[in-house]
Amino acid sequence: MITIVFAHPWHGSFNHAILDAITHKLDKEELRYQIIDLSAEKFNPAMTTDDLRLYSKGETTDPLVQKYKKMLQHTDELIFIFPIWWGMLPASLKGFFDKVLLRGSAFNYDKNGNMIPGLKISRSLIITTSQGETEIYRSFMEGYLIPYLLNAVGICGNEWHNCQYTSHGPQSNREDFLKRIVELV
């Protein structure tokens, strides 16, 4: 199963055009997929007192978190689509990582306190858009997000692709990026 995690609140965005292009290709090829649309599903990224009380036990009372955990456990390939805002992930995606990647399902610890991945996701496409040049974000994406978050929980085969200068670059920039992304899926 392919799972798409979409983290953009505006459905008129270029990020949504990326989502549409990918799902069109998946539909055309009759591939099974599911979408986690964090904004449309009104996912609350903020940790609450109850969330923190249960966090160390790997538990939650949030029905969306429970749903997303199950979806990830049945995922072979993962596609993230999100904008880079102020050099970072949108709050909704950061909250998704904080609240959904829980001990007991996304990871565990061995007797020496080393993290053991709990997911078995063989491939992940990380598709981002930015106003700045791609190189500005490379150290965060490839130096932190991929090795210390995604790989650590068993999300492997990570490939990051960014469309730079999204809103102020030429239209051909976005068109070429869409074509390239569709070929990768």
Beta bridge partners of 78: 3, 124
Distance of CA 93 to the CA centre of its chain: 7
Domains of the chain and CATH, by start: 2-184 (3.40.50.360)
Query: What is the residue type of 115?
Result: M
pLDDT tens-digit profile of 11-54? 899 999 999 999 999 999 999 999 999 999 999 999 999 999 99
Alpha-carbon gap, residue 76 to 38, rounded angstroms:
20
Query: Contact, 140 vs 87, CB < 8 A?
Result: yes
pLDDT tens-digit profile of 47-92? 999 999 999 899 999 999 999 999 999 999 999 999 999 999 999 9
Query: What is the residue type of 176?
Result: D
Please check the confidence at residue 179 and state whether its pLDDT lies above 90: yes
Query: Contact, 65 vs 55, CB < 8 A?
Result: no
Alpha-carbon gap, residue 150 to 160, rounded angstroms:
12
Instruction: Please tell me whether the overall predicted TM-score, pTM, comes out greater than 0.85 for this model.
Output: yes
Alpha-carbon gap, residue 52 to 30, rounded angstroms:
40
